[in-house]
Amino acid sequence: MGRLKMQSGIKAIEEEPEECDGYSIKTTLACMINSEVGAVLAVMRRNVRWSGRYMSGDDQLEHSLIQSLKALRKQIFTWQNNWRAINPSVYLQPFLDVIRSDETGAPITGVALSSVYKILTLDIIDQDTEHVEDAMNLLVDAVTSCRFEVTDPASEEVVLMKILQVLLGCMKSKASVMLSNQHVCTIVNTCFRIVHQAGSKGELLQRIARHTMHELVRCIFSHLPDVGNSESALVNGISNMNESSGLNNEYAFGSRQLENGNMASEYDGQALSMNLASNTSVGAAAVGMIDDTLGAGNGKDSLPYDLSPTYGVPCMVEIFIFLCSLLNVVENVGMGPRSNTLAFDEDVPLFALGLINSAIELGGPSIRHHPRLLGLIQDELFRNLMQFGLSTSPLILSMVCSIVLNLYHHLRTDLKLQLEAFFSCVILRLAQSRYGASYQQQEVAMEALVDFCRQKTFMVEMYANLDCDITCSNIFEDLANLLSKSAFPVNCPLSSMHILALDGLIAVIQGMAERVSNGSVGSEYTPVNFEEYTPFWMVKCDNYSDPSHWVPFVRRRKYIKRRLMIGADHFNRDPKKGLEFLQGTHLLPDKLDPQSVACFFRYTAGLDKNLVGDFLGNHDDFCVQVLHEFAWTFDFQDMNLDTALRLFLETFRLPGESQKIQRVLEAFSERYYEQSPLILANKDAALLLSYSLIMLNTDQHNVQVKKKMTEEDFIRNNRHINGGNDLPRDFLIELYHSIIKNEIRTTPEQGAGFPEMTPSRWIDLMHKSKKTAPFIVSDSRAYLDHDMFAIMSGPTIAAISVVFDHAEHEEVYQTCINGFLAVAKISACHHLEDVLDDLVVSLCKFTTLLNPSSVEEPVLAFGDDTKARMATVTVFTIANSYGDYIRTGWRNILDCILRLHKLGLLPARVASDAADESELTADSGHGKPLTNSLSSAHMPPMGTPRRSSGLMGRFSQLLSLDTEEPRSQPTEQQLAAHQRTLQTIQKCHIDSIFTESKFLQAESLLQLARALIWAAGRPPKGNSSPEDEDTAVFCLELLIAITLNNRDRIVLLWQGVYDHISNIVQSTVMPCALVEKAVFGLLRICQRLLPYKENLADELLRSLQLVLKLDARVADAYCEQITQEVSRLVKANASHIRSQLGWRTITSLLSITARHPEASEAGFDALLFIMSDGAHLLPANYVLCVDASRQFAESRVGQAERSVRALDLMAGSVDCLTRWASEAKESMAEEDAVRMSQDIGEMWLRLIQGLRKVCLDQREEVRNHALLSLQKCLIGVDGVHLPHTLWLQCFDMVVFTMLDDLLEIAQGHSQKDYRNMEGTLILAMKLLPKVFLRLLPDLSQLTTFCKLWLGVLSRMEKYIKVKVRGKKSEKLQELVPELLKDTLIVMKTSGVLVQRSALGGDSLWELTWLHVNNIAPSLQSEVFPDQCLEQSHNGDAAGDLASDETGQVPLTETASSEVAAGGG
């Protein structure tokens, strides 16, 4: 506090120069120093020793300490210079002398230290101060060699605290950069000594000492980023610390004179541990080490540096070595991390680890620029971390994990294999109870792992660097499995450990989900395949920092690793087949070579080591070569023989036969001697010594050997083996003790669990780390997430699901939901449809909607179940967001929707909203949208009435009081539960699934449609429950909705939709809501899609034939609505229907309605629309429409007026034929025009045949109108070229047949059935000569003309004789001769009827008169009188004929007027 006030005061003075000139500043500083001198003198005077000398009257001089203080007092007020120009040593020296003096007591030394600290804080000593370097060094030397008399423990502690304060002040001052490396080491040394001594002092001093040590380390290492690469300052380098030097000669702490001078012997023996006085030797060892390590004693040459004037890397290296050595103390004194009491076990390592952590936090990435520091971390520090990581103390484990996390963060690129070892040998062992870890250890390990998982790139980098490296273990896979297993509560309630593991799992998944959002370069998954053999151990990457290079590289390596694992599995069953399999996958060459097989044995995990040993020991030449190559894969450079032998024998089981052992050891010895020839004379020496070690190992570690080999025995056994000479005795002793302490395992474990880190394995790891591939640093894009997610998705979904199932707190629910959504996002983005389906299936179970409803009020139960509601919202969020990649999962989603539908919880029009919206826009020009007959709201009630649907309907049901069954008013809780249910359903946006289905990918859309068809089930056979029918109707609505929403992809859906509707239509025998929905849905689809899908028009219209297949009862029930819909369809889409097939369907549907009382009006309306003015008549639909019109004309449903209108439509259609004929002549090629002309003739024939049938109608008005229409059609076809043969057909099939049929009706039926047949016969008879004469010029040339003419005559003959109502018709008897006469005159005039031969050879003439005489005998004399009369007749007839040829047809008009008059 004092320091802060002083500083602020000084700064205030400096900042106000206009008020306080330079003189006052100098004076202020002088006053402050003067007051400090006074304070020291005052305390000294209290002591008799100092005051006596001072007060005595004799001539004895004052003590030099007092003299120097007084001299300073005199000087300070005389200094005129700026204080920074004054050497600080001048005003510090008197105080430092007091501190150094062993005559002063603790109170005096304490005040002097306070004064020095105060001067340090005045900010007058910085880099710019004169001679600051000397002054700082002087200050450090004085304080670190502080001496004083101990009067009482309390004052001693005060002095020690002040020493700490001043030393820390030195390091924190601006001038600290001027300190030398040696002085920094001295400061740390002194501080640690006080930490050590504080163990026997008060709690406060202990705390302050440790805190100061931490602050010192922080100060020193925070300077590292500012230091350049100062390795040049290392003149000789730093040799590894001699761990035993401080222990052998400095075991007893009290025998050593400490420079602090205040440690009385009663405190000397206290251990570093504040709790355990018994650990004296360890404390001494630690302090012994600090002297050797930091070199802070008298011997300044103990530092191997050419120490530069300012401190930097050298002192940091020294301090770091010292901190690591603190971790070695336990090991050096022979205490394993588990062998001692917890108090010591925790105290020293915790203190050291805390300091190391601070150093790494502040040094950060700068450490990698200093190889010596980095080397310490890579080897010594990490080796210690591996050891202490297995400590039973959770505190130590937690600190170790924190350090490793910091190292990962700052230096992971240089610690690839160390990190692998840490996770394999520490985290994966401790996080599982099966390796004997306590619950606390498991928890700390799991917390650490979760912290790593929260680093966004951690898992990706583990996968890329370790899982995809054939020489490394699958750390990502193991960690992911550990997390998912640890999240599983097996036969126990959910604990914090389960939640912790879940957090880690979800952190990994969410990291992937975030990377997906960042976009993925080249993340499109392409499977790796080997087309040809490449040595798998030599696969290299060109650029480890460029993803376009390293991503394919690591994928390739992972593929190799997977294949090797499969090959290992095959090899373990049958070595020959295993090698053949790898040849088949191009990982081994077609012709095996020794190197490739050796590398397979060396780098493949999971091989049966017995089989490998047998193979390598085999005497076969190839096997010997493989053994040789196998030995050459090891790096024994600078390795002890026993270490090398351990590593070699770990990879296979040494065979039992001596010859095999001989071969194996020969190969080993040759390789070892080649790489480490320093001590051994030749490879034979290596072989003999290796044999000797194997024998020693068996002797020492086999329980059956009772008499064990001694050290001397071992040395004696190995005489003269080194090329005739002895091996060094120390070398053999070291080997002997190494084997005794640590057995060489000749039967290694078969890859079970996670290995322990032995010294030999650590040495091997350090060797490998120099050669391993560079560490791949991943960025924030999803390069490998597809592969990683494929590995972990199954266990992850299972783990999250189990936790979600067991959880009871909303916070845990939310964590799980976040996990589910992240899984969904990743699955969708990497196109992993199976994973997404599994997720949907899993989630649907939690909605409780699929459970058989045993609850009385399921809606309330759902409202009260938070988990179910959250799961439901999540299911539909996934369906809406990632529907593109859902396949079979749609079935489960639909089951949920159907359940909500049954409970009446869906919005009223989930299905039809989408379709209706688009319909409004599509049909805006055509009046009201066509929803009436389609919406479920308008269905006639069938069976049990549907419960009121929709959210509000359900809610009002709850609120209403049923009058029949009085119910109690719902409670507030029930209302709240209902409200929650409704809010949940609204959040689900279920309707969006269907309205937005147009954006679904094709495969997903198809699966959704199939799921709807599946959910609807088979069509009911009449005995189904109303609920089943309701479900089927609802599914059909949804199916129709998505069909309408996907008109652009109708081809995809059509077949399934059509088949489903067809099943319904053909299996329904009674009217019901389902068949109604099916029929009208089909019509609606056609209405909506015809304008857009002309290529599908036939397919769509053909589907309407299903309507024709309806059961009669069903058809009858819906005929009117069907017709209205067909009518609308025709009106909206007539221009889009082009084919005959389409029109056939339409006209068939319309024709059926002709005889239906309710439907006929709408049907005729549609026909009218098509045929009026030929608006939509086409050659394709002409005959069909004419036939439909005929059916309406014949139909007696409705007024006769409609039949007349139908006949008018038929008669009017002739104009179309005429138009088409002229268009064909003008625009078509000759061949096409001829074909068209033939088609038109056919149409015309069908038209008049249709009219002929209506001419026989019972209704007089219709019958007579049909005759007039027929006459119009027969005569009004001038523009159409009709061949003679067609006309002859017309007479035979139409005109004559009609006349005969009418005659038969007139004679055979009662007047009651056919009224006024006489009028009809007259019209029919008038029609005959008109048509005959109209065609006379063309037909008279035909050879069959005679037959035709006789046909006309015979009909006239019959008609004149006909009896109507039992008597002959007077009108016909008048009319027929007259018509015949006119006909004969025209025939005579046109030269058709003339006597060609007087000899009786003219049959036409004779036959004519034969018949005419039967009708009217006088006609011959009237038509052929004498010559005069004949001429006058000729003139009249010619005029008539001329008129006829000009198209005015006076004969026809006359006849028509006569008939009209007669008819009236």
Q: Is 720 left (phi over 0), alpha (psi -120 to 50) or beta?
A: left
14, 16, 266, 657: the active-site residue: 657
Q: Tokens for 15? A: 């900042």
Measured at the CA of 438, the angle between CA 434 and CA 442, to 5 degrees, comes to 80
- Residue 1438 CB burial class (10 angstroms; 0-12, 13-18, ≥19): middle
CB of 287 within 8 A of CB of 188?
A: no
Measured CA to CA, the distance from residue 127 to residue 580 in angstroms comes to 75
Measured CA to CA, the distance from residue 942 to residue 1026 in angstroms comes to 8
Cα 203 from chain centre: 57
DSSP string covering 1356-1401, please? HHHHHH-EETTEE-HHHHHHHHHHHHHHHHHHHHTTSS----TTS-
Q: Tokens for 1379? A: 């018509």
Measured CA to CA, the distance from residue 623 to residue 631 in angstroms comes to 12
User: Collapsing DSSP states into helix, strand and coil, what is residue 1061?
Assistant: helix
Q: Tokens for 1427? A: 């010559």
Which alpha helices (H) appear in 652-710, and where do they start and end? Answer: 658-675, 683-701
E strands, 905-964, are none
Measured CA to CA, the distance from residue 443 to residue 6 in angstroms comes to 48
Q: Tokens for 73? A: 């007092």
- Residue 1324 CB burial class (10 angstroms; 0-12, 13-18, ≥19): buried
Q: Which of 940, 943, 944 is nearest to 1117 (CA)?
A: 940
Measured CA to CA, the distance from residue 458 to residue 478 in angstroms comes to 14
CB of 759 within 8 A of CB of 742?
A: yes
Measured CA to CA, the distance from residue 144 to residue 167 in angstroms comes to 8
**SS3 sequence of 1347-1359:** HHHHHHHHHHHHH
Cα 271 from chain centre: 59
Paired with 722 in beta bridges are: 725
State how far the alpha carbon of 250 is from the alpha carbons of 194, 266, 389, 1436, in Å.
18, 18, 30, 163
Q: Which of 144, 236, 233, 227 is nearest to 190 (CA)?
A: 144
Measured at the CA of 671, the angle between CA 670 and CA 677, to 5 degrees, comes to 80
User: Collapsing DSSP states into helix, strand and coil, what is residue 722?
Assistant: strand
Neighbours of 1353 (CB within 10 A): 20
Expressed in angstroms, the distance from the first to the final Cα of the chain is 134
Q: Tokens for 522? A: 């080249």
Q: 1112 Cβ partners below 8 Å, 6+ apart?
A: none
Side chain identity, residue 857: E
Is residue 443 flagged as an active site residue?
no
Measured at the CA of 650, the angle between CA 648 and CA 652, to 5 degrees, comes to 90
Q: 892 Cβ partners below 8 Å, 6+ apart?
A: 840, 841, 844, 850
Measured at the CA of 331, the angle between CA 328 and CA 332, to 5 degrees, comes to 80
Neighbours of 942 (CB within 10 A): 18
What does R_g of the chain's alpha carbons equal in angstroms?
57
Q: Which residues are catalytic?
A: 657
